[in-house]
Amino acid sequence: MSRGEIIVTAARGWIGTPYRHQASVRGAGCDCLGLLRGVWREVLGAEPEAVPAYTPDWSEPQREERLWRAAARHLRPCPGAPAPGDVLLFRMRRGAVAKHLGILSQSGAAPCFIHAYSGHAVVESPLSAPWHRRIVAVFRFPDPNS
């Protein structure tokens, strides 16, 4: 199985997990960061750093790109077009900090991504034009075989 297939298979195992702020337990609850943390643990092992408690508006008052910086510390930049298994970082409002994450599950003519969506659960959604235009960075998980 390729790196992308391993990541997408793990992420799909979280579909239906309820949205729970700060949680990261498959089947019990997670938020978008918790989904990535859980997939990391399933595929790569121990998380690379402890995640401090955070509020729903975290880093907004300070205007700090904390999530982007954390992603850059532990994930690799995506060289070229995003591929299944890549991590998408979204800015939900123009001028706001980037604070939503998802995993690209399908590319091509009908792209989709998996994410924990507030008020819902972990879902696989079409990467529609409104979602696509919110992407501000794309990262790759480290190779699970290295």
The pLDDT of residue 146 is above 60: no
Residues 6+ apart with CB under 8 A from 98: 65, 67, 68, 89, 90, 91, 136, 137
How many angstroms separate the CA atoms of 10 and 12, rounded?
6
The pLDDT of residue 55 is above 80: no
pLDDT for residue 52: 80
pLDDT for residue 80: 87
The pLDDT of residue 45 is above 70: yes
What average pLDDT score do residues 50-78 get? 81
Three-state DSSP class for 10? helix
Q: Are 121 and 109 in contact (CB under 8 A)?
A: no
How many angstroms separate the CA atoms of 57 and 12, rounded?
27
The pLDDT of residue 116 is above 80: yes
What CATH code would you report for 3-140?
3.90.1720.10
- Domain extent listing, the chain: 3-140
